[in-house]
Structure 1
Amino acid sequence: MRKVIFLSLVMLLSLVSQVWAQSQTISGVVSDAGNGQPLPGVNVVVKGTSIGTFTGANGEFTVDVPEGSETLVFSYLGYVNQDVNIAGKTSVNVALKEDSKALSEVVVIGYGTQEKRDITGSVASVKSEEIENLPVAGLDQAIQGRIAGVNVTSSSGTPGGGISVRVRGTSSISAGNSPLYVVDGVPVSNTDISQGGFGNQEINPLSEINPNDIESIEVLKDASSAAIYGSRGSNGVVLITTKKGKAGKTQVDIDAYSGVQSFTKKVDFLNSNEYVDVVNEARQNYMNDNPGNTVDLLGAPAVNTNWIDEITRNNAAISNLQVSVRGGNDKTRFYISGARFLQEGIILNNEYERKNLRLNLEHSISDKVEIGSNLGVSRSVNNRIIGDNSIFAPWPNALQSRPDQPAYNEDGTYFATQRNNPVQGALEPQYETTIFRVFGNVFGSYEIIPGLKYRLSAGGDWYNNKEFQYEPITSGQGFGTKGYGLAGNGVASNYLVENTIDYSKSFGELNLSALAGYTYQEFVTERQNVQGTDFPSASFHYITSAAKILSGTSTWTSNALESYLGRVNLDYGDKYLLSLAIRRDGASKFSEDNKYGAFPSVSVGWRLSQEAFMQQFDFLSDLKLRASYGITGNQEGIGDYAAMALITGDRNYNDQSGIAPSQLPNPDLRWEQTKQTNVGLDLGLFNNRISLGADYFIKQTDDLLLSRPLPRTSGYTSITENIGSVENKGFEFAITTRNFDGAFRWSTDFNIAFINNEVTRLNNNEPFDRGFVNRVAVGQPVGAFYLLEQVGIYQTDEEVPAKLYARGVRAGDVMFRDVNGDGDITTGADRTFVGSAVPDYFGGITNNFAYKGFDLSVFFQYSVGNEIYAMWKELDAAGNLGARENNNAIARDEAENRWTAPGTSNTVPRAIYGAAGTYNTQRSSRYLEDGSYLRLKTLNLGYSLPGQLVDRVGLRKVRVYATGQNLLTFTKYSGFDPEVSSNAQDAVTAANDQATLPQLRSFTLGVNIGF
């Protein structure tokens, strides 16, 4: 027995020694050789294997090394790779040196990547760490204020609502002005296909993309960088790259935040007693102006209703939870994530919920063959409300409703207010939009010979929009029809096949890269809906219960795009750079004679810092001059068959089917064409501690796609033609400074853009109006405000011209500029240009601080010189001070600053009842306000737990943080929010505030946990 035990012990010891011999543990710390600071996220791999790990928050690592391994490889973006000998060692500390070439970053460009230092066009980049964990629904909101020349405006505070993005100004009048969005190489839809009416507020399709899945966002701003996308590049291109797998130890990350939202500002309205006093003053003034005419005065109010409080939540919830898994080896890399985002609207019954799944996979079959896929799936449910510009919308009605009227009757039923009861309008209707979206691609590449690679990609974007609307008989919209219902379904899909071949080779000091490709993309849009009325009761919601079917429609349209593309990049001696690109697009929207168009570009760069005569300037890290010219196109905003003669089949009469012509052909129709010149400079000082990018551009868009009105006698209302030109020109500056690099770190990013927008040509140079207050005219910005101009208040009756006095104008009424000098004021003859929605300049500034485990980010965003038309005052009577018989709510600033006697006010007129008061409420510069603002957009404070503590519990990282969004806004605008628009997607009528729901302030607490 002893012998057996002895032999067993020998075998056990032998086994243990073999195991120990087969592997050993190496640990250590990786730091920056320049400042000694630890580097988290460094890739540590046993050379020749896929075994490895990443450093923790404080630079620590631990890795099990197989027997016989002698070298660890340390690699990190922006640093020189380092091989470290570990023979006979159990710990090593490594200091990595910065790689000046790698520090320039690798950025995504059209159909490839390029080192940022070699870019000759104008390309801006936003990385994941700048936008992750922001409490926003869409990626376009996340980049607001972070890129010079890219103006992002939230049209409202509605969850999942529309966003306006303008790259280097407004380039079109009727066609689209939004950039082209490309996700992992697939151009995706950015068009709302909803069929129900919600005022002018749209759904933002980009909200279906989870911002936390994004690795980087590149914006191609000039024609040189965007020309590779040809007929869709005039408004810029936004390239979105999602996160990919990495070789090494599998990482699991949990990211979560939760918080509340509230108003950034509340407009103060008069309470019931104050309201009655002003209305009675208005009626008394009327009787003073019209002796012998009497009107009843209001009695003491019985209630005091704050309608805004009645329809809003005290604190609307917002939350996000994401779990992601990332890893792989030298053969296969993967990234998987799942997320849920929830945002309550500030209005009751308004909520947006989105769920996302993502799978990105790459596999190397051999050294020459690689395959992969990028797949994103989302499902969102949007419980919507009617927005602005609708008599049934709860928010505008809350701003209009009188405070001396109650929300409910004594029996608990809704009080019949003069407007549609706002509470009833928020709670009674049901508006649900469900979106299911799948987008992505599968791809394969084959290296034919060294440097020559072929790539095939097939993908698409399938976007299903299902709508349900129900207005019970008890609601304002459903009352007259005994209930109203709509059931709709829309599908927007596109399918893409791309074949590209690229070649890279060095010939001594000459580096060459070339790309050629063929792509085909097809777009299909389908819509169906049915509407019904006369429901048996409020308990029946679906169309099958409707006694009357109002209408049933279905439509199907498609268009296709065939493209050939090519690009050559040359770099000689790391000094002289040249890029040539061309794309030839063929679009089915146009006739055979105009189906194809070519979009070329050229750009050059000269890196002066590499010249021998510049080496004496030790402080100069980099100096590069850039220049580019190119042509891009735009085919958005017109119908799929805009060039063709169309016949419609919906001309039915007396239960007999019929057809009729509906559209004139225009075989000469073609793309809008934008020619853009860009001159830029990239400067780095003091080992790139200060970096500057500066650009000047001129962007001329010709052959605008406009709908020209036709005489009704022609049988048609309009025809789409190429008419007019628009010019944008300006300067952009982006500055990054690393102010402190020691134990305390502080960096600053600042950007600013100055853009001048001007219409340079129209059909016969004749101006035209659109909307209520905007005009398009040569020499003016797109959509300039064209209004009567207020120049003061008449202080005495003697100042009033005779013609106006005869019309009832008296002291205390508005003094308008008499443009034609006839002694009278008429909207036809006395309107003039008084302002524009285009800012003089805009941008943002971010300061990032870090000390030990603490980090702080402070981001301000600003816009200066733009005007807003406060239509909520003019239309909703909040500023007309008793002009209407049943006056609505009155804003306190208007009431307190009103004229009551000579010398009391020269800006706000007197309170006046009846028709005489409508003179003061004419659409004029009285309601045009300065929309400039400076906003503390984001404040983020975080703390990362020490690595030793995190390692003890088996985690990779733990960071807790607090974020404030839209915390402070400095503005002169009297409304709720200076950053709103009742129709942000319309370039002409933007910056009209028709009681638009404002953006909200949010406070969130979050945690990032890594395993």
Structure 2
Amino acid sequence: MGKYIIKYKAIRKHSLMALVIGACCCNTSTAQTPSDSINQVGFGTQPSWMTTGAVSSISGKQLEKSFTTNIANTLFGQLPGLTVQQNGGEPGWDTPSINIRGLGTFYGSNEPFIVIDGFQSTYAFLQQMAPQEIESITLLKDATATAIYGSKGANGVLLVTTKRGQEGKLKINFSIQAGFQQAARLPEFLGSYDYANLYNEALANDGLDPLYSAADIEAYRTGNDPLFHPDVDWYDAVLRKAAPIQNYNFSASGSSKTFRYYVLFNVINSKGLFRKAEEMSDYTKNSNYTRYNFRTNIDVNLSKRLTATVLLGGSVEDKANPGTNEDGGSIFDLMSSVAPNAFPVYVSPGMYGGSSIYENPLGNIMQKGYISSNGRSVQADLKLTEQLDFITKGLSITGAIGFNTYFKSYSNKTRSYARYSIDRDNAGEIVYTKFGDNTSLSGDESSSSQWRNYSLQATLNYNRTFGKHGVDALFMGSYNDYVLTGSDLSRKNIGMGGRFTYDYDKRYIAEFTFGYNGTENFPRGNRFGFFPAGSLGWVISNESFLKDNDIVNYLKIKGSYGMIGNDNIGGSRFMFDQYYNWGAYWFGTSNNQTDAAFEGTKANPLVTWEKEKKLNLGFEATLLNSIDLSFEYFNNHRYDILTVPYRTIPSFAGFSRPMMNLGKVDNQGLEAMARYTSNQKKEFTYYVEATAWLAKNKIKYNDEALQVNEYLYGTGHPINQPFMLEAIGFFKDEQDILDSPTQTFTDVQPGDIKYKDQNNDGIIDNNDYYPIGKTSMPELTLGLRAGFKFKGFDLSFLFQGAVNRSVYLSGKYFHAFQNDGKISSIALGRWTPETAETATYPRLSSNNNLNNYQYSSFWQRNGDFLKLRNIEIGYTIPKSLAHKIKLESARIFLNGTNLFSIDHMDGFTDPEVLTGYPATRAISMGVNVQL
């Protein structure tokens, strides 16, 4: 065994970034020595060589390389098995969706269970954290890893561990990072000249007279009459070219004989993309997001056997936005609606342009008021651990209490303002038509939101080695109470769980884990469930026939199987109780009304949690002291998913059908990682790491209503499979229309979209919707990370790719002239008799064309992309120079986040954020010093 330890210490010397425990590995880290690296697991830690569950982890240091206000947006492509989908770029409102190993349910929640420092928390709380306070983020993915969480583990578990004090003298770190953000892409809307020409063309297609004369069009072309022939780029009028973002971080760590400590204070500030309005108006505020994070983590030795851990962290966030909505989506919606020639920004100094239909986008951020909010979150944990070696060696007991709370208050200041349209009278004088009035600000301070969560835990641990036999055991009990202010009742969960791991000679490993949980959301007698799992592992490299070779330094195979639950099933609470609605009955021929209570949706006395059987097989290897490999295959079967029992209960039953646990979903996939790390003894060192993870799901049963056409069933397809009309081109001429099936949405003309008759009944209607394309969630995620160091210089980057996904272009961004709105450059490829063979867009119409704007494959696009998520280049000054200026170390760096995307969107929009507040890129510089 001594040879084993020496061998793996050698491997460790050749591992770059040893602090990153499995930064992009499908399970445990192979970038660190398997004999001494540690994995976070449920309610504890394990040596990597002993871990037989599917676990992947990343350090907080790695997350700092992406400069963003939301820590969840630093996880793109970082953790194998974690799919992150961006939903926007607005500071404080940029929450992405996260899922572990794809989707497992079509009705309940697919969000993973969040645990921070061992206690249940929420995704919202995680997003308030700063990367600088995080030691690691770990995913638990298979049955063995998640069974101890019982009915909360089926969607996977995301563990967050905050930094703790390290032994040694006081170390102080301070860093500053500052830069700017800008929209990665903005939609390409056409100017007034093209708008007028194309609108006249649309009117002609509809058999109507032109709206714009030749003189109007010439005025738009020359721009010599901006008052009556404006050409306004509202994005240019309302948005900044770039908005500043900065981050300041201070931390201190150290220890004495009896205690260790870590303290942090972090400030991040980001201005929104809206132009600075506060300097120009007394009725608004600039778009701004500021968050202050603090943390104090202390470990104290109260006696030789008793230790205490006190963890205290939290945040204060302030957000302000001009206008009347907490997020900026309504402003972007308005900017994408108002035609460039609808009205000028100002019709006269201080007088905003406008109409009876549309408000003025700039006027809205300058004059309509503002919404500000203040949020506060606190997490406090206390743990006491007593070593019970006097009973038996390796035995300890821990008691813990945790408390999380979050409160957010709002201040809503609103007013109306006057806007004007203009015309000329017979004498040629300007006539103003007023819409709205200027009023004073009115305030509303009544809105707020709050939740709190407290937990109790007790854990008995046993870890002992008897010669070649090793035993690692844990038994725990927990109670959790979550209260959302304003909801009906708190949500309580009580349970216990255990983990028993046995190894022989560090070669053969067997583990059994279980959870036993109960919740009040299910009927009496059916509130508790048992969730077991087991796994086996074989460290082949510790066998005598592999110990002395120089090629295979480490090799482990493993497998697990078990059943886990998901109690976040969706639907209303307490579905086992019968609810009654208040309404009225009508009696007699005179229709007399009588107030009465009547039965609502039928109760389901057997409602229960979703269950999932999980299978996981994998291996890990280190070759030639420099190549790390890992692979995982998983196969999950989820059942007891809530669904409306259309087939089980007929419609003539006479009552509203209850939700029943009848649905089934299969989900399978794989994860793989390959990493090469150069010889760390050389002056030039580098690493390259490639990762890929695939997850494909299929609905096996959904109790759907009977359909005449088999292709209309969702069963057999992925969750959220798009069903749409299949576009097969454009109608060429009137004869083509006569020879084709009748499209029932409206009268069609040459140049309109032609749809396929899926059931061959000669009619195109809702029965011709067909499963086409992929969902917006990628089936395959790719990651490529690389970096080098040379004479104080360092460079690292991360590419992330998403494959097998579809996106849909809808609404005013892509559908021309909706409600007399804009037209984008995508419509330049419109159908005309001259372009019939090359057209990429249907004929133009001045109305909301009910045929062309149907939900169809014509508007579906390939959503695959490859993005440069982050790149950073830095220089660490020589220690001799740092010491001369009283510093332990100093590093300066240049950072880029989300710099570019390679995709199929032709530069018009981002493949993840199609509309609304755009995705942003950030460029920044910074300095980090250690005292």
User: Fold-level match, TM-score > 0.5?
Assistant: yes
Residue by residue, what CA displacement relative to the aligned partner does 1:843-897 show, whole Å, maximum 9, x if unpaired? 21110111121110111011012001112xxx21x44444x5x531111132245
Residues in 2 aligned to 1:900 and 1:486: alpha-carbon distance in whole angstroms: 59
State the partner residue of 1:20: none
Residues in 1 aligned to 2:568 and 2:615: alpha-carbon distance in whole angstroms: 22
Q: Are the counterparts in 2 of residues 643 and 665 from structure 1 also a CA contact under 8 Å?
A: yes
* Alpha-carbon shift at residue 939 of structure 1 (Å): 0.6
CA gap 1:999/1:502 in 2 versus in 1, 3 angstroms: same
Q: Are the counterparts in 1 of residues 167 and 255 from structure 2 also a CA contact under 8 Å?
A: yes
Amino acid at match of 1:1004: S
Residues in 1 aligned to 2:83 and 2:509: alpha-carbon distance in whole angstroms: 30
Q: Are the counterparts in 2 of residues 870 and 975 from structure 1 also a CA contact under 8 Å?
A: no
Q: Are the counterparts in 2 of residues 766 and 777 from structure 1 also a CA contact under 8 Å?
A: no
Q: Are the counterparts in 1 of residues 645 and 704 from structure 2 also a CA contact under 8 Å?
A: no
User: Which runs of 5 or more residues in structure 2 are unaligned?
Assistant: 1-8, 23-29, 221-228, 276-285, 420-434, 586-593
State the partner residue of 1:756: 696
Q: Are the counterparts in 2 of residues 602 and 629 from structure 1 also a CA contact under 8 Å?
A: yes
* Alpha-carbon shift at residue 425 of structure 1 (Å): 3.7
Residues in 1 aligned to 2:598 and 2:179: alpha-carbon distance in whole angstroms: 56
Amino acid at match of 2:211: D
Residue by residue, what CA displacement relative to the aligned partner does 1:794-818 show, whole Å, maximum 9, x if unpaired? 2333222356499642222212112
Residues in 2 aligned to 1:828 and 1:419: alpha-carbon distance in whole angstroms: 37
Residues in 2 aligned to 1:41 and 1:340: alpha-carbon distance in whole angstroms: 28
* Alpha-carbon shift at residue 736 of structure 1 (Å): 1.8
Residues in 1 aligned to 2:761 and 2:437: alpha-carbon distance in whole angstroms: 49
Residue by residue, what CA displacement relative to the aligned partner does 1:232-257 show, whole Å, maximum 9, x if unpaired? 11111111110100121101111221
Q: Are the counterparts in 1 of residues 551 and 624 from structure 2 also a CA contact under 8 Å?
A: yes
Q: Are the counterparts in 1 of residues 14 and 677 from structure 2 also a CA contact under 8 Å?
A: no
SS of equivalent residue, structure 1 residue 228: helix
Q: Which moved more, 1:897-906 or 1:934-943?
A: 897-906
Residue by residue, what CA displacement relative to the aligned partner does 1:952-1001 show, whole Å, maximum 9, x if unpaired? 121111111110001110011257554536xxxxxxxxxxx4x2322101
Amino acid at match of 2:253: R
Residues in 1 aligned to 2:582 and 2:140: alpha-carbon distance in whole angstroms: 43
CA gap 1:816/1:186 in 2 versus in 1, 3 angstroms: same
CA gap 1:39/1:597 in 2 versus in 1, 3 angstroms: closer
Amino acid at match of 2:114: Y
* Alpha-carbon shift at residue 935 of structure 1 (Å): 0.4
State the partner residue of 1:249: 169
Q: Are the counterparts in 2 of residues 183 and 240 from structure 1 also a CA contact under 8 Å?
A: yes
* Alpha-carbon shift at residue 260 of structure 1 (Å): 0.3
* Alpha-carbon shift at residue 567 of structure 1 (Å): 0.7
Q: Which moved more, 1:656-665 or 1:924-933?
A: 656-665
Residue by residue, what CA displacement relative to the aligned partner does 1:529-551 show, whole Å, maximum 9, x if unpaired? xxxxxxxxxxxxxxxxxxxxxxx
From 617, 635, 638, the equivalent of 1:679 is 617
Residues in 1 aligned to 2:701 and 2:11: alpha-carbon distance in whole angstroms: 57
State the partner residue of 1:439: 379
* Alpha-carbon shift at residue 663 of structure 1 (Å): 6.0
Q: Output aligned runs, 1:215-364, within 5 Å.
A: 215-287=135-207, 294=209, 296-297=211-212, 299-300=216-217, 301=220, 302-348=229-275, 349-364=286-301
Amino acid at match of 2:348: E
Amino acid at match of 1:778: T
Q: Which moved more, 1:368-377 or 1:709-718?
A: 709-718
Residues in 2 aligned to 1:123 and 1:385: alpha-carbon distance in whole angstroms: 44
Q: Are the counterparts in 2 of residues 775 and 783 from structure 1 also a CA contact under 8 Å?
A: no
Amino acid at match of 1:823: G
Q: Output aligned runs, 1:811-890, within 5 Å.
A: 811-871=750-810, 875-876=811-812, 878-882=813-817, 884=818, 886-890=819-823
SS of equivalent residue, structure 2 residue 248: strand
State the partner residue of 2:223: none
Amino acid at match of 2:881: L
Amino acid at match of 2:239: T
Is 1:910 the counterpart of 2:910 in the alignment? no
Amino acid at match of 1:383: A
Residues in 2 aligned to 1:788 and 1:99: alpha-carbon distance in whole angstroms: 50
State the partner residue of 2:916: 996
SS of equivalent residue, structure 2 residue 898: strand
From 306, 328, 332, the equivalent of 1:369 is 306
CA gap 1:714/1:823 in 2 versus in 1, 3 angstroms: closer
Residues in 2 aligned to 1:346 and 1:354: alpha-carbon distance in whole angstroms: 18
Amino acid at match of 1:474: Y
State the partner residue of 1:969: 901
Is 1:148 the counterpart of 2:68 in the alignment? no
Amino acid at match of 1:817: K
Residues in 1 aligned to 2:413 and 2:721: alpha-carbon distance in whole angstroms: 38
State the partner residue of 1:380: 317
Q: Output aligned runs, 1:495-514, within 5 Å.
A: 495-514=454-473
Amino acid at match of 1:824: I
Residues in 1 aligned to 2:777 and 2:833: alpha-carbon distance in whole angstroms: 36
Residues in 1 aligned to 2:193 and 2:457: alpha-carbon distance in whole angstroms: 69
Residues in 2 aligned to 1:966 and 1:464: alpha-carbon distance in whole angstroms: 31
Q: Are the counterparts in 2 of residues 812 and 901 from structure 1 also a CA contact under 8 Å?
A: no
* Alpha-carbon shift at residue 776 of structure 1 (Å): 7.6
Residues in 2 aligned to 1:608 and 1:525: alpha-carbon distance in whole angstroms: 50
Query: TM-score normalized by structure 2?
Result: 0.85
SS of equivalent residue, structure 1 residue 409: strand
Q: Are the counterparts in 2 of residues 356 and 377 from structure 1 also a CA contact under 8 Å?
A: yes
Q: Output aligned runs, 1:452-851, within 5 Å.
A: 452-474=395-417, 485=444, 487-527=446-486, 555-615=487-547, 617-636=549-568, 638=570, 641-645=573-577, 664-687=602-625, 689-706=626-643, 719-741=658-680, 742-764=682-704, 777-801=714-738, 804=742, 808-851=747-790
State the partner residue of 2:25: none
Q: Are the counterparts in 1 of residues 569 and 609 from structure 2 also a CA contact under 8 Å?
A: no
Residue by residue, what CA displacement relative to the aligned partner does 1:828-853 show, whole Å, maximum 9, x if unpaired? 43444343223241121110111121
Amino acid at match of 2:565: G
From 298, 319, 337, the equivalent of 1:400 is 337
* Alpha-carbon shift at residue 658 of structure 1 (Å): 10
Residue by residue, what CA displacement relative to the aligned partner does 1:677-707 show, whole Å, maximum 9, x if unpaired? 00001111012x1111101110111111346
SS of equivalent residue, structure 1 residue 801: helix
Q: Are the counterparts in 1 of residues 11 and 32 from structure 2 also a CA contact under 8 Å?
A: no
Amino acid at match of 1:225: A
CA gap 1:182/1:832 in 2 versus in 1, 3 angstroms: closer
Q: Which moved more, 1:319-328 or 1:641-650?
A: 641-650
User: Which runs of 5 or more residues in structure 1 are unaligned?
Assistant: 1-31, 43-75, 79-97, 191-203, 288-292, 528-554, 769-773, 982-992
Amino acid at match of 1:117: W
Residue by residue, what CA displacement relative to the aligned partner does 1:751-774 show, whole Å, maximum 9, x if unpaired? 101221111111247689xxxxx9
CA gap 1:633/1:335 in 2 versus in 1, 3 angstroms: same
CA gap 1:125/1:722 in 2 versus in 1, 3 angstroms: same
CA gap 1:481/1:611 in 2 versus in 1, 3 angstroms: farther
- CA RMSD after TM alignment: 3.6
* Alpha-carbon shift at residue 381 of structure 1 (Å): 1.6
Q: Are the counterparts in 2 of residues 980 and 998 from structure 1 also a CA contact under 8 Å?
A: no
* Alpha-carbon shift at residue 900 of structure 1 (Å): 4.5
* Alpha-carbon shift at residue 413 of structure 1 (Å): 3.0
Identity of aligned residues (%): 25
CA gap 1:685/1:967 in 2 versus in 1, 3 angstroms: same
Q: Which moved more, 1:176-185 or 1:429-438?
A: 429-438
CA gap 1:99/1:860 in 2 versus in 1, 3 angstroms: closer
CA gap 1:142/1:974 in 2 versus in 1, 3 angstroms: same
Q: Are the counterparts in 2 of residues 868 and 978 from structure 1 also a CA contact under 8 Å?
A: no
Residues in 2 aligned to 1:99 and 1:712: alpha-carbon distance in whole angstroms: 60
* Alpha-carbon shift at residue 626 of structure 1 (Å): 0.7
State the partner residue of 2:423: none
Q: Are the counterparts in 1 of residues 534 and 562 from structure 2 also a CA contact under 8 Å?
A: yes
CA gap 1:390/1:900 in 2 versus in 1, 3 angstroms: farther
CA gap 1:333/1:833 in 2 versus in 1, 3 angstroms: same
